[in-house]
Amino acid sequence: MEFPAISLSTSSNFPARYLGKRRTPSQKIPRRTLFRRKPLHIRTSIVALVDNNGSFSVSETCTDESDPVSLNRRKEWIHFVGIGGSGMSALAMLALKQGYEVSGSDLVWSSFMDRLNKAGACLCIGHSVSNLQRKNSSRLPNAVVVSSAIPQNNVEILHAKSFGIPVYKRDCWLGNLTQYHKLIAVSGSHGKSTTAAMLAYVLNAMGDDLTAIVGADVPQFTEGNIITGSSETFVLEADEYDGCFLHLSPYIAVVTNVEWEHVDIFPDEEAVRTTFRRFLNRIRKDGHLILCGDSEGANSLLSNYKWTIGLDASRGALSIQSSERRADSYKITTFGISSSNEWHASSVAQNSEGGTDYTLCTKEKLISSSVIGDVRWQISVYGFQVIATIVAMVRDESHVHDTVNRLRLHLKNFRGVSRRFEMIGSIHGCYIFDDYAHHPTEIRAVLQAARQRFPFKALLVVFQPHTNSRLAALKKNFAIALSDADQVVITEVYAARETDHWNVSGRDLSASIFGPTSEYIPSLGDVVDKLALQICKDPHRDIVVLTLGAGDITTVGPKLLNELQKRLQ
């Protein structure tokens, strides 16, 4: 089968293992064979099973009426342009684990590249034609995969096109990579990394030998932000940036929330919602949508759907049938705190861990009891969508209640993802945490969690704005969110992929904050020196330092801790 690529070539093929037929765990595909595929005609039947030991598995029968034709026996080579980011590095690592030769380039080195380098990838700093050449220029990559952040006039892209090498943007590559899997695509403006990681972890712990890609490092994943397996389940963090998730065809789609986040791509929140509606149209026939009913933006996606009221024969009463809420071809289940959701909470109370205690309830007619039981969380209510998703995979009514009870045990063992209220260390009365929060909603959430966990400590926030466009559009919201701290330090904007056309700076944000003391310190090195000096003057003062942002602000916490240790010990 031929696939669309950003290429001048009309005869190139997508690498074999990424488009090959569905596999059962016992099937092996030759590691060094590039296939040309005929159109596939697949009939599937998915059954979820829970054995007496609590092991969860998904079996699938499959009929493939085409046979692969071998074109090449040598090891295929895939080159990734912009390999240093979380998403691209995950694709590169998966390719390595699949047996491909992998190379890649980026402008600066990243922590994700350390793991790739150790795994055998050939990595280059800077973009150059030479990055695509082997054996005195006689050998070229079989495919080139490009990050959404890379412009189309990149020298490596142009060189690949000139030689007829297929060039795939990340979204197209992901679509081809997942199209013959039972894809669970986790989307949303916030929380999708934690949700995707938790879902993959729990399914794997319950016995599903799945594949997963998460956009953040997961300490409990051996390979960092991926899991490689042989079952048909594929859990993917599905990003709306640049419409990346519009090439996916999920069996189950999860929407955690919808807000105006990528302001450089979407002109307003309605544009974001329109893109998410297009994503929902990609859900496969007889698939399932799991959506947060508490999110105004997410709930707006359901404005054209209606509940069906009917008689529940098992209870002998008129009730809302959650499984009857459908789009044209898929079921819809909602989750959230509100009792209007199919999966919801009662007896909600904040706990000392910075999370939430609650009783989990459901309206699902597959479950005879409306109250599942008490759940204790250290990371808010991400478990709702995980439970709802796994229940959506179970077709046998007799297994549902048992599945929920068993998966709760694994949920308790999940330790989260990196840079999500991650503790860097402590010394005397000072605790240092790092978080990826770079949107006002995320900042409010992490400050709330910090207040819950440390109600008697002062909160000192160091925030690095991420992209000038986001700061310009949401400056007022940032100022309001940061006002919940006791002291704020704003650094220079981390421009990432942008050139500043907005004439806005961290100094402007600092001046907009009312309430706490606010200071603009552009250099991260100067921030470390300033805070070290301040803390050392009163080392036993109870204080929590939070470094927030999606850029290189993550280096401040370890450097500050190291400096304090040198001065105070």
CATH of the domain at 246: 3.40.1190.10
Q: Are residues 488 and 382 in the same domain?
A: no
430: tokens are: 């000072």
pLDDT tens-digit profile of 298-310? 888 987 664 433 3
Residue 252 has pLDDT above 50, yes or no: yes
pLDDT value of residue 459: 97
Residue 569 has pLDDT above 60, yes or no: yes
Domain that holds residue 123: 77-170
Residue 563 burial (C-beta neighbours within 10 Å; 0-12, 13-18, 19+): middle
Q: Are residues 368 and 462 in the same domain?
A: no
CB 447 within 8 A of CB 461: yes
Of 5-9, 146-150, 419-423, 495-499, the one with minimum mean pLDDT is 5-9
pLDDT value of residue 55: 39
pLDDT tens-digit profile of 309-346? 333 333 333 223 333 444 568 899 998 888 888 888 77
- pTM for this model (two decimals): 0.79
Q: Are residues 152 and 107 in the same domain?
A: yes
Of 394-403, 469-478, 545-554, the one with minimum mean pLDDT is 394-403
**Listed residue (92, 59, 70) closest to 20, CA to CA:** 70
Q: Are residues 218 and 336 in the same domain?
A: yes
Q: Which residues pair with 431 in a beta bridge?
A: 426, 544
pLDDT tens-digit profile of 62-114? 323 222 222 233 579 999 999 998 899 999 999 999 999 999 999 999 888 99
Q: Are residues 90 and 135 in the same domain?
A: yes
pLDDT value of residue 24: 37
State the pairing for strand pair 371-376/458-463: unpaired
Residues 499 and 501: their CA atoms lie apart, in Å, by 6
Amino acid at 259: E
Average pLDDT over residues 374-388: 65
pLDDT value of residue 401: 76
Average pLDDT over residues 185-209: 94
Q: How confident is the model at residue 353 (pLDDT cuts 50, 70, 90)?
A: low
pLDDT tens-digit profile of 7-32? 333 223 344 333 333 333 333 333 33
Q: What letter does residue 220 receive in the DSSP assignment?
A: T
From the CA atom positions of the chain, what is the Rg in Å?
Answer: 25
Residue 477 has pLDDT above 80, yes or no: yes
Contacts of 173 (CB under 8 A, 6+ apart): 18, 91, 145
The domain boundary residue, chosen from 114, 135, 170: 170
Residue 236 has pLDDT above 80, yes or no: yes
CB 443 within 8 A of CB 539: no
DSSP 304-357: T----EEEETTTTEEEE-GGG-B-SSEEEEEESSSTTSSEEEEEEEE-TTSSEE
The domain boundary residue, chosen from 141, 170, 199: 170
Q: Are residues 465 and 399 in the same domain?
A: no
pLDDT value of residue 450: 93
Q: Are residues 364 and 278 in the same domain?
A: yes
**Largest Cα–Cα separation, the chain:** 77
